[in-house]
Amino acid sequence: MKVTILQSNIAKVLGTTSRVVGSRTTLPVLSNILIKAEKGKIKFSATDLEVGITTGTIGKVDEEGEITLPAKLLSDFVMNNKDESIEIKTEGTAAELKSSHFEAKIQGIAAEEFPTIPEVPNAEPIIIDKSLFVESLKKVAVAPATDETRPVLAGIYMVIDDDNLTLAATDSYRLAEKKIKLKSKFASVKMIVPSRTINEVLRILSGKSDAEIKIISADSQISFLIGDTHIASRLIEGSYPNYVNIIPASSKITVKTKHSELVSAVKMSSLFAKDTANNNVKMMVGKSDLSILSAASQAGSAKSKIEAEVSGGELGISFNARYILDFLNVISDDKVTLQFNDGTTAGVFRSEKDPDYVYIIMPLKLES
């Protein structure tokens, strides 16, 4: 293989692929990036056996071929090289890298040892506006479990039904659900996508200017197509819990308040809640205000009071402060709506600008 690529283009594709390279693996080739030149195209691929990313770049192809090179060493050479272009020429399982001022020889591993990243399934893709998909993913990506105790909870539940796409996530202490209207109708499908895959999709989408993203699911795999980048991932096996029953059908008490003021109040109380078992903050709903309180035996206590539109009565209820802030950080409304029934059942947090988004938090034991 002999190719010449702009330094900026190599840096870009390495930035896209290198995050999924295994840093601690018993399979050495998983620490490498696969570089393949074929039919005038140059592709870079990386995988950790759960998530695989392939992306292409333009360049001059003098000889076709393929090789895998250590991701970190390759990245360090490219990032420290400010020359305009870099030539990569293979000799067996090694590669010579040359530019105007630098040259190096890097020992690689034969491309045949690199795991196969699933090809894009031959099925009709679901096409979604990129900005809408990113906004929606961010709103649910805060809620899945961060451990593998219950694998199905460590992912985003995606349900396609006709022209509706529902995204949901829960760690059993809170739940986030976002509904999206699709432009076309599709066959019904349910799948659980690993959170790590979703985070990689969000990371790559943030650096892409493409207007749309394509999603294809088949044979326990899911593919995300973003321009010339393909992200392939396994799906999590198992049945997702019937979370719909967790969402209260109605509420007795409704509180509407300014988003910015609620953020400040919760942040202030959370400073003291850090020393409690569950970042415990207490919400006290008054006749026309909302108070946020916290107390820790050693740190001290805090209380913030903000104006609110209240209907249905007064109430005291406790939540994990971090869960509240996670909700507030992914919405941009001027006002937010909180709905309660009593101090022992789930609280419903809603975005006034997005009626198709709902966030549920289970209450903590209300301290006196």
Q: Band of the pLDDT at 297, cuts 50, 70, 90? A: low
Alpha carbon 288 to its chain's center:
37
Q: Strands of 94-98's sheet, edge to edge?
A: 60-63, 2-6, 85-91, 94-98, 103-107
Residue 305: C-alpha distances to residues 154, 257, 269, 314 (Å): 36, 11, 11, 14
Quick: pLDDT tens for 324-360: 999 999 999 999 999 999 999 999 999 989 999 999 9
Torsion of Cα atoms, 86 then 87 then 88 then 90, to 10°: -160
* Residue positions counted in the chain: 368
User: Given the DSSP bridges, would you call strands 289-296 and 103-107 parallel, antiparallel or unpaired?
Assistant: unpaired
Quick: pLDDT tens for 23-67: 677 899 999 999 999 988 999 999 999 999 999 999 999 999 999
Residue in 76, 75, 88, 13 with CA at minimum distance from that of residue 43: 13
Instruction: Tell me the domain boundaries of the chain.
Output: 2-113, 129-174+183-244, 248-361
- Fold agreement (129-174+183-244, 248-361): yes
Q: Band of the pLDDT at 272, cuts 50, 70, 90? A: confident
Contacts of 49 (CB under 8 A, 6+ apart): 22, 30, 115
Q: Quote the CA–CA distance of 199 and 126 in Å, as a whole number.
A: 19
Contacts of 346 (CB under 8 A, 6+ apart): 246, 247, 248, 360, 361, 362, 363
In CATH, which of 3.30.10.20, 3.90.320.10, 1.10.630.10, 3.10.150.10 is domain 129-174+183-244? 3.10.150.10
Question: What is the fold of 2-113?
Answer: DNA Polymerase III; Chain A, domain 2 (3.10.150)
Q: Quote the CA–CA distance of 143 and 325 in Å, as a whole number.
A: 12
Domain spanning 248-361: which CATH class is it, in words?
Answer: alpha beta
> For residue 123, what pLDDT is reported?
83
Tell me the sheet residues that pair with 364: 318
Quick: pLDDT tens for 103-148: 999 999 999 999 999 888 888 899 999 999 999 999 999 999 998 8
- Verdict on whether the full-model pTM lies above 0.85: yes
User: Given the DSSP bridges, would you call strands 65-70 and 51-57 parallel, antiparallel or unpaired?
Assistant: unpaired
Quick: pLDDT tens for 241-270: 999 988 998 999 999 999 999 999 999 998
